[in-house]
Amino acid sequence: MQIPHFPEAQHPLIKSLFHHSDQELLSLFQQNPDAGRFFTAIFCRYNPIVYTLIRHSARSPVQADYLFALTWRHIYYELGGLDLSNGEFAKEGLTLQNWLINITAYCINEIQLPPTEAIHYSLKATSPPLWCYVEQALDQLPPMLRLMVLMAQTFQWSETRIAAYLQAEGEAITPHEVANLLQEGYRMLEDKLPTDVRAIYLGENLLQGSTA
């Protein structure tokens, strides 16, 4: 079994965080909700363990990749409130690694995966941290723009097909207008991504100083 390669691990912003302990990375992630590099650094540190556990349990590589992404999305939302120093965690001496293994086991057992042919996610095209932050940015778009971007990117619908669908829903819109709105949606989506996420995944220059 081959562990996927994630180029973001070699980005200077991520490499500069390698010296931090797990607890430090967790604290930085929780204290800087507008930054994406701390979650990405945790992902780069622990994705091999998570992927190995998932790949042994999934029926197909496509399902494994999708479950891997869904697991990291679950981890992303759970990390915000995680406190390893309190209560039962402290008593059991639970580490971030142990917690991640437990969360992965939970996702393997609880998440119902669709058939392979119904999965539109590609691990090579979108790394799980980027997926998490794109989803977060999508939630901030106006509903119409979000719907059009999802149709175009997830289902590969053409402007003509999107316009026909929206017309059937009562919207007076042409394919040309759809094309213009999609460009606006993409610009808005990119603008709502954290600055360091754009630097890591889209190659933008980061003008702000590092938080850590």
Which one-letter DSSP state was computed for residue 208?
Answer: S
Sign, CA torsion 15/21/23/24: negative
pTM of the predicted model, to two decimals? Answer: 0.89
User: Mind listing the pLDDT tens digit of every residue in the chain (212 residues)?
Assistant: 788 999 999 999 999 999 999 999 999 999 999 999 999 999 999 999 999 999 988 889 999 999 999 999 999 999 999 998 876 666 677 899 999 999 999 999 999 999 999 998 899 999 999 999 999 999 999 999 999 999 999 889 999 999 999 999 999 999 999 999 999 999 999 999 999 999 999 988 765 444 44
- Assign domain 7-118 to its CATH architecture: Orthogonal Bundle (1.10)
Domain segments of the chain as ranges = 7-118, 140-202
Count of beta carbons in the 10 Å neighbourhood of residue 61: 13
- List, as own/partner pairs, every contact residues 21-28 make where C-beta atoms lie below 8 angstroms and the sequence separation is at least 24, other chains included: 22/95, 22/96, 22/97, 23/84, 23/96, 26/79, 26/82, 26/84, 26/96, 28/211, 28/212
The candidate with the shortest Cα–Cα distance to 4, out of 48, 37, 45, is 48
